[in-house]
Amino acid sequence: MHLGCGFSLRETVVRAKHAQLADLSDVALLKRLRKSQDWLRQLCCSLFAERPGARSPGGGANWRRIDASLVSEPGKTGRQWRVHYSLRWPSLECDYFRLTPVEGKGQGESLDQFAFARGDFILADRGYCHAAALGEAVRQGAFLTVRLNPQGLRLQAPGGDLFPLVGKLKSLQGAGQTAEWEVRIPRQDPAAALPVRLCAVRKSAAAIALAQKKLPRKARKEGWQGQPESLIYAQ
């Protein structure tokens, strides 16, 4: 009930008592959950398997999902820390984590926080879309799928010209329409430019409206100025 339905600990114990499943406090439930890592992971895998179309990747590849989360010490004056972590998929086992301060050079979300083995398949959000770190991960032998951050790097056409990203995206007009282009990510050494495949999918009208509605609030919260092309990227 707590994991699959999203009930709070208090609501979970009330429902459990009413259903004559168990009679315990929310604190006691929390203590039990903290000792149930393997069981919780099994529940997560079972819930994922119930989703329509869910299937596990084959071939014995090492699939990893990386991200970071902020955690705070207790109390109003508690310090914040950033946890960098990697989950294996589909087992959901954490195979790496690192705790760093939130502020300071080299403490942000970056592929540099991780070590990769040859043959790793990495999935990451756009906070990890930085040319130098992408190049280093590729040098270590990893394969990467990363959401594009248009402000984080430049894209070149195979011939070296600037890739017309906005124009290409505008050509996608129908909901669900997809496209892909061969592009390069320039680096300090022109001969070391990364060849990558850029993929795009057009959202539904409802999803576009929701994404564009969030842009002004996100800009105010994070302190950046919205650009006209941001409305195109949100599509």
Q: Which CATH number fits domain 60-148: 3.30.420.10, 3.50.50.60, 3.90.260.10, 1.25.40.10?
A: 3.30.420.10
pLDDT score, position 54? 61
Beta-carbon contacts of 155 under 8 Å, excluding residues fewer than 6 positions away, are 162, 163, 165, 183, 184, 185, 198
Beta-carbon contacts of 142 under 8 Å, excluding residues fewer than 6 positions away, are 116, 117, 118, 119, 120, 121, 122
The pairing of beta strand 94-101 with beta strand 120-124: unpaired
> For residues 41 and 92, is the Cβ–Cβ distance under 8 A?
yes
Distance CA 208, CA 177 (A): 14
What digits encode the pLDDT tens for the residues 42-58? 887 788 778 776 665 55
- Residue written as token pair 């919260």: 221
Q: Give which of 168, 126, 119 is closest to 147, Cα–Cα.
A: 126
Q: Give which of 90, 88, 67, 69 is closest to 80, Cα–Cα.
A: 69
Beta-carbon contacts of 215 under 8 Å, excluding residues fewer than 6 positions away, are 226, 230, 231, 234
pLDDT score, position 2? 86
> For residues 184 and 193, is the Cβ–Cβ distance under 8 A?
yes
- Residue written as token pair 């690192």: 98
* Domain range list for the chain: 60-148, 154-202, 203-235
pLDDT score, position 89? 83
Return the ∠ at Cα 33 (arms to 28 and 38), rounded to 5°. Answer: 155
- For residue 11 the two structure tokens come to 């609501």
pLDDT score, position 221? 79
pLDDT score, position 53? 67
pLDDT in tens, the chain (235 residues): 887 788 999 999 999 999 999 999 999 999 999 999 888 888 877 887 787 766 655 556 789 999 999 998 887 777 889 999 999 887 778 899 999 998 888 788 899 999 999 999 999 999 899 998 999 999 999 999 999 998 888 899 998 899 999 999 999 999 999 999 999 998 877 778 899 999 999 999 999 999 988 888 887 877 777 788 888 999 9
> In the beta sheet, which residues pair with residue 185?
194
